[in-house]
Amino acid sequence: MTKVFNIAALAVAATAPLHVKSPTGEPLYADAERKLPILIHLYGPGSEIAGVIESRQSSRALKRMQDNDGKITAASREERITETSHDLASLTARFENFEYQPDGATEPLTGEALFRAVYADQSLGFITKQVAKFFGDWGNFSAASKAA
């Protein structure tokens, strides 16, 4: 009898944590002892929400083409920031060991408003870039990456 590989063994996890790095590439921690890593937990590219986001992105691109007589056009800077922050917020399960309290706010934001605000804040663009890159690599959600 021939032994075959069970491909289901390679199924990716539903979520995975990203250890956020500073703009200079240093891993960030919430404490001086470096015991509390600053993490963003993301839903994986194989998750149901990822499929919803992909469909939403395709619909936006088609609508933009329809609105421009079939010509491919790029989103404006403001549209891109809004769309990216909305998409990444939807892919975010939770933040761990950090908060965000913008100027003028009486208390830190929570939930999806928190996620959107962080990803839309261009002075924190290094976080947005890390999240997008992390999400795009299926290996970050593999069983091997969970064990690390």
pTM of the predicted structure, to 2 decimals: 0.87
State the pLDDT at residue 138. 96
State the pLDDT at residue 102. 87
The pLDDT of 34-47, averaged and rounded, is 96
Confidence of residue 71 (pLDDT cuts 50, 70, 90): confident
pLDDT reading at 148 higher than 80: no
Q: Which of these, 43, 23, 55, lies nearest to 121 by C-alpha position?
A: 23
CB of 116 closer than 8 Å to CB of 89: yes
Is residue 133 classed exposed, middle or buried when 0-12, 13-18 and 19+ CB atoms within 10 A define those classes?
Answer: exposed
State the pLDDT at residue 119. 98
